[in-house]
Amino acid sequence: MLNAIRSNASLWDLYAKVEEYNPQHLDEHDRFLYKYSNQNNILEPTVSEFLVQQGMNIDYPDNYEFGICLTHDVDTVFLSKKRALYEAARRGIRFRIKQATKMLMGGVSKHYNPRWNFNQIMDLEDSFGAKSTFFFMALKPREPAYNYRLDLLQHELDTIIEKGWEVGLHGGYYAYNDLERITTQRDRLEAISGKTAKGYRNHFLRFAVPTTWELLTTANFSYDATFGYSETFGFRNGMCHPFRPYNITTDTPIKIIEIPLMLMDVSLIRMQIPPNQAWPKLRSLLDSVRKNKGTVSILWHNNRMDGDWLKLYTKILQYGKEKHAWMTTGEELSQWWEKRVI
């Protein structure tokens, strides 16, 4: 199948992301954005469609029709009193009194903290026959983006793992091109979770082609889930299936599996699409993946699990159940695809 793509120059350039090797433009976070790309239509999984037409054999366990990889980046857990007051005031202005009260209490006790919601998320997903991956940071105080001491979440990590959900590493802001940071943070997470970290996603979706893939391979990660755009949703390299990246500099495949990110809650904000108006667009994306028996990877932060954001996430779960999707963790998905990826 890889040779079939290579025979088509435009598809190969898209699949291998040739334009990202020496990009002329990056944003303030050194990210390559869709607006810098030569890609014509990010909402069309053109490479996957080509592979399906070429006869790529796709199957899922238990005869599931397609996949939905559910993930949550845990950027924040604890609310400062100042932040709790701000969030409560913002909701109070909109007459969301119940939510405002929770925010106020969240600045006092974790038991009322709306971001200490791991069990609620798992209970919701379990009601639809789904599981997900939680990507936790393993930073120390004064490191950029530090928000919580991971050891204080020992019980939560243990519970997530015991229930069959996954704990992965959410690499810090500067980790994506720094092997020492990646391995140090991985070791911290594994020491507390007691489990080998298989999956990775970098904070702010910072990513460098092919550097990040190569470093994660060296660090013995099984899969990455970072590869998507921060400001929009869709198919960054035309793939709606997990794939094995290719290093055009060395002319060799990279051993890690990429589960490309296709939809992030923050992207909707940047696109100025309110969550109560987003479903038709998300439904179209899901339909496209389902049509090609692909896997849509979704990032929903733990701090967007209330109000209209929670309703929208629930619609995704409902769609997956109705359409017989395998809604699972990145670890289970990557293990299944290990011998199936091109």
In percent, the amount of the chain with pLDDT more than 90 equals 85
Nearest alpha carbon to residue 217 among 195, 229, 200, 205: 200
DSSP-assigned states of every residue in 174-231:
TGGG-HHHHHHHHHHHHHHH-S---EEEEGGG---TTHHHHHHHHTT-SEE---S-SS
Q: Which two tokens stand for residue 312?
A: 């929208």
Contact 238, 270 (CB under 8 A): no
Contact 224, 201 (CB under 8 A): yes
Band of pLDDT at residue 340, cut at 50, 70 and 90 = confident
Positive or negative, the CA dihedral 211, 214, 216, 218 is negative
Assign 41 to helix, strand or coil. coil
Is the predicted pLDDT of residue 94 greater than 80, yes or no? no
Is the predicted pLDDT of residue 85 greater than 60, yes or no? no
pLDDT higher for 92 or 2? 2
pLDDT tens sequence across 257-274: 999 999 999 999 999 999
Integer-rounded Cα radius of gyration of the chain: 20
For residue 87, which amino acid is it?
E
Give the pTM.
Answer: 0.92
The predicted model gives 150-158 an average pLDDT of 96
Is the predicted pLDDT of residue 107 greater than 80, yes or no? no
pLDDT tens sequence across 12-56: 999 999 999 999 999 999 999 999 999 989 999 999 999 999 999
Phi then psi for residue 101, to 5 deg, are: -65, -40
Is the predicted pLDDT of residue 150 greater than 80, yes or no? yes
Write down the mean pLDDT value for the chain.
92
Nearest alpha carbon to residue 316 among 300, 334, 303: 300
In percent, the amount of the chain with pLDDT more than 70 equals 90
pLDDT tens sequence across 44-75: 999 999 999 999 989 999 999 999 999 999 99
pLDDT higher for 151 or 93? 151
The predicted model gives 107-136 an average pLDDT of 86
Residue at token pair 């439904």: 283
Instruction: Write down the pLDDT at residue 108.
Output: 47
Instruction: Please tell me the distance from the alpha carbon of residue 138 to that of residue 222, in angstroms, as a whole number.
Output: 18
Instruction: Write down the pLDDT at residue 102.
Output: 54
Is the predicted pLDDT of residue 99 greater than 70, yes or no? no
Looking from the CA of 20 toward its CB, the CA atoms found within 13 Å total 28
Instruction: Write down the pLDDT at residue 115.
Output: 86
CA-based max dimension of the chain = 61
The predicted model gives 153-180 an average pLDDT of 98
pLDDT higher for 249 or 94? 249
Band of pLDDT at residue 339, cut at 50, 70 and 90 = confident
Instruction: Write down the pLDDT at residue 135.
Output: 98
pLDDT tens sequence across 215-239: 999 999 999 999 999 999 999 999 9
Q: How many residues does the chain have?
A: 342
The predicted model gives 194-214 an average pLDDT of 98
The predicted model gives 323-336 an average pLDDT of 98
Instruction: Write down the pLDDT at residue 93.
Output: 56
